[in-house]
């Protein structure tokens, strides 16, 4: 088994791994800084966590970090625990708002999914079983991936369908930008909400058009073609109102799409409640059910 694993990664090193680094352990191979876009550098690279290649192809879950679209890094792969249950996982960086304006962020995420699907055979992945999971800004991007497959304004014609995902776990991601921006006019500058709203304004522009706000809103793209969703939200979230997730799930259900909302009593915007073993088990069960072999 070890010989097969070594040969597998020697083949990869001769193909798609230019500039990347490989770490190995007894049960996991980690490919660091794999560029998913030409000349993308760290901002458009991902880390890929692969279980032993002796069995497969593996389902894949892609982690998208939060950080208000202006911070965060792929180094913290919250989905890594899924590797012990037979999943490959990836953690990706995307251009932050100080590097490029929206919609660069969702275009980068789509490019990463396309890259992983196109190279699935090389990495022993199943291209038909790809899920995404993100929190906060990453939750917004994960939800956009789940609702905008094939949307012309966010994908090139030749790329449509390649960024489709089969399951989405969205942790407290903004889903309706017009509502959030309208709220900004009603809160004092000292409110915690003011900082988050300023970040959204920075992402979309000082005076974002209605079209730009719509493009950043997963709620606007809900259709029967959306992926199944598991949505997690703190009942006391001070930054992204619970109603953002409630409205998204209601719209998905109305379109005939499976959507489960889990509200964490007393929880805010992230933190320890979202790391609880029982919640991780629920996330594992969701991905296991929707990314199971057909």
Residue 117 CB partners (closer than 8 Å, separation 6+)? 127, 130, 162, 163
Question: Read out DSSP for 71-138?
Answer: S--TT--TTGGGGGGT-EEEEE----TTTS-TTHHHHHHHHHHHHHHHTHHHHTEEEEEEEEEEETHH
The pLDDT confidence band at residue 157, using thresholds 50, 70 and 90, is low
pLDDT at 149 over 60: yes
Q: What mean pLDDT comes out for the span 9-17?
A: 50
Compute φ and ψ for 244, nearest 5 degrees: -60, -45
pLDDT score, position 27: 72
The percent of residues in the chain predicted with pLDDT above 70, rounded, is: 85
Which range, of 46-50, 65-69, 86-90, averages the lowest pLDDT?
Answer: 65-69
**pTM exceeds cut of 0.85:** yes
With CA atoms as reference, report the closest residue to 132 among 169, 82, 162, 159.
169
- Average pLDDT over the chain reads 87
**Structural domains in the chain plus CATH codes:** 2-178+217-290 (3.40.50.1820)
With CA atoms as reference, report the closest residue to 92 among 119, 121, 115.
115
pLDDT score, position 19: 56
User: Alpha-carbon distance 95 to 45, whole Å?
Assistant: 10
Quick: pLDDT tens for 258-291.
Answer: 999 999 999 999 899 999 999 999 999 999 999 9
User: Alpha-carbon distance 182 to 143, whole Å?
Assistant: 21
> Residue 256: beta bridge partners?
none
Task: Pick 6 or 139 by higher pLDDT.
Answer: 139
Which range, of 9-13, 115-119, 145-149, averages the lowest pLDDT?
Answer: 9-13
C-alpha dist (Å) from residue 237 to 10, 202, 240, 271: 47, 21, 6, 11
The pLDDT confidence band at residue 28, using thresholds 50, 70 and 90, is confident
Whether 82 contacts 63, CB under 8 Å? no
């Amino acid at each position: 088994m070890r010989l097969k694993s070594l040969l597998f990664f020697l083949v990869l090193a001769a193909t798609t791994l230019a500039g990347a680094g490989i770490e190995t352990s007894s049960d996991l191979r980690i490919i660091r800084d794999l560029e998913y876009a030409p000349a993308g550098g760290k901002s458009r690279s991902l880390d890929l966590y692969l279980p032993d290649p002796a069995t497969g192809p593996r389902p894949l879950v892609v982690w998208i970090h939060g950080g208000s679209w202006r911070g965060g890094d792929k180094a913290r792969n919250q989905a890594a625990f899924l590797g012990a249950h037979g999943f490959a996982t990836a953690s990706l960086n995307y251009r932050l708002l100080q590097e490029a304006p929206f919609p660069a962020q969702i275009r980068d995420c789509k490019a990463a999914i396309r890259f992983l699907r196109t190279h699935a055979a090389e990495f022993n992945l199943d291209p038909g079983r790809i899920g995404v999971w993100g929190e906060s800004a990453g939750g917004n991007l994960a939800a956009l991936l789940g609702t905008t497959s094939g949307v012309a304004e966010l994908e090139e014609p030749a790329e449509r369908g390649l960024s489709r995902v089969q399951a989405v776990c969205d942790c407290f991601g903004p889903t309706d930008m017009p509502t959030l921006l309208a709220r900004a006019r009603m809160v004092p500058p000292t409110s915690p909400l003011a900082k988050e709203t300023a970040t959204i304004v920075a992402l979309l522009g000082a005076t974002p058009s209605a079209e730009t706000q719509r493009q950043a809103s997963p709620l606007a793209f809900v259709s029967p073609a959306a992926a199944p969703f598991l949505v997690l939200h703190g009942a006391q979230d001070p930054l992204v109102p619970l109603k953002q997730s409630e409205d998204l799930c209601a719209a998905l259900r109305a379109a005939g799409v499976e959507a489960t909302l889990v509200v964490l009593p007393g929880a805010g915007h992230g933190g320890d409640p979202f790391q609880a073993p029982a919640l991780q088990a629920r996330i594992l069960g969701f991905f296991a059910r929707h990314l199971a072999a057909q």
